[in-house]
Amino acid sequence: PCQRGCITRSYFSSLNSTLPAARATGKVTVRPYSVAHGLIFDSKTQKASGVRVIDGKTRQALEFRGRIIFLCASTLESTRILLNSATPEFPNGLANSSGELGHNLMDHTMGGGATGHIPGNEDRIPLGHRPNGIYVPRFRNVKTKDARFVRGYGYQGGGWRQNWEHGADLAGFGADFKRRLSRPGPWMFTFYGFGECLPNHNNYIELDKTRVDAWGMPILKIHCAWGDNERALLKDMPAAAAEMLAAAGAHDIEPFIEDNAPGLTIHEMGTARMGRDPKTSVLNERNQAHDVKNLFVTDGSCMASSACVNPSLTYMALTARACDHAVGLMKRGEL
């Protein structure tokens, strides 16, 4: 029950932490059922002046104005909104003088690892709802270089005890077979790899020129594939996981590798990357658009590389830093 947050607030969720804190200031209005369609650009000031939305219930077109615009709709949606906000000054998408908007899409490689039986503890069963898992940080290309690939991967995983489903692997029939089905299976442990995806200009998104969604907004066309480095990482994951399990005393170890397409990890990043050079990036190091000084983009679209770890806390840290920077600019009268 804790997977999406819980009433004790033991597991972080914006619904029971940051959003209530923001509303407690008395300076936040949460407006649900508002489908962001595009940003409004003032050609005289060269700044963003507001957001166009469609009311999800009435389908009425509305505009909201502001001195500063923070765009944080998630990687693909933020970039879709920017692409859909083209102007005469930015015909290929707002804040896109570099031509990089939409490019360098990334997602973590996932699908390589190993599972093994852990002997002992047959008198114990799992108790509780969401016991913590394990994490093995990246160990390739840290102290020594691996010639097969750059960067690396980490493992997530954990232990569990098989239930009646282990009967699919049991031989026999009759009463004895039924008794064995009613008993818990052996303890198992799995290492599941998550690898870094390198930025690649040929992995990109664009607006579909003929199809729109239910709100009249162009849908996205996604062009993304693993490169040689990602495939090399994936190939290495099962062997290293099996080696770790063997060292821990596991038996009946089964390495596995899955041919998963980009997108399964749901850690999409890039498409509006940060950088110091306005010619090769969309945002500066403070998540501020190079071309539109009062526009900040603070979700995964800002990432210039993906690393191999879950990115949500990084997005939160980047957002906090960008907010602090924006406040400083306002206090100094620079926005």
Q: Which residues contact residue 300 at a Cβ distance below 8 angstroms, ignoring those fewer than 6 apart? A: 74, 75, 267, 268, 269, 270, 311, 315
CB 294 within 8 A of CB 69: yes
**pLDDT at residue number 178:** 73
pLDDT of residue 72: 96
Query: pLDDT at position 165, please?
Result: 64
**Phi/psi at 257 (nearest 5 deg)?**
-145, 130
Q: b/e for 210-235, b at 16 or more Cβ within 10 A?
A: eeeeeeebbebeeebebeebbebbbe
Distances (CA, A) of 82 to 43, 53, 203: 16, 13, 18
Average pLDDT, rounded, for the chain: 92
Length of the chain: 335
**Which CATH number applies to 34-106+268-331: 2.30.110.10, 3.50.50.60, 1.10.3720.10, 3.30.479.30?**
3.50.50.60
pLDDT of residue 130: 57
Query: Residue 319 above 70 pLDDT?
Result: yes
Answer yes or no: is pLDDT of 25 > 80: yes
- Give the closest residue to 149 by CA, choosing from 104, 109, 204: 109
pLDDT in tens, 110-162: 999 999 999 988 887 766 665 568 999 999 999 999 999 999 999 999 988 87
pLDDT tens digits, 202-234: 999 999 999 999 999 999 999 999 999 999 999
Of 21-30, 163-172, 193-202, the range with the highest mean pLDDT is 193-202
Sign, CA dihedral 92-93-94-96, equals negative
**Under a CB-based contact definition with an 8 Å cutoff, are residues 298 and 224 in contact?**
no
The domain limits of the chain are 34-106+268-331, 109-200+226-257
Nearest-angstrom CA–CA distance, 50 and 43 = 13
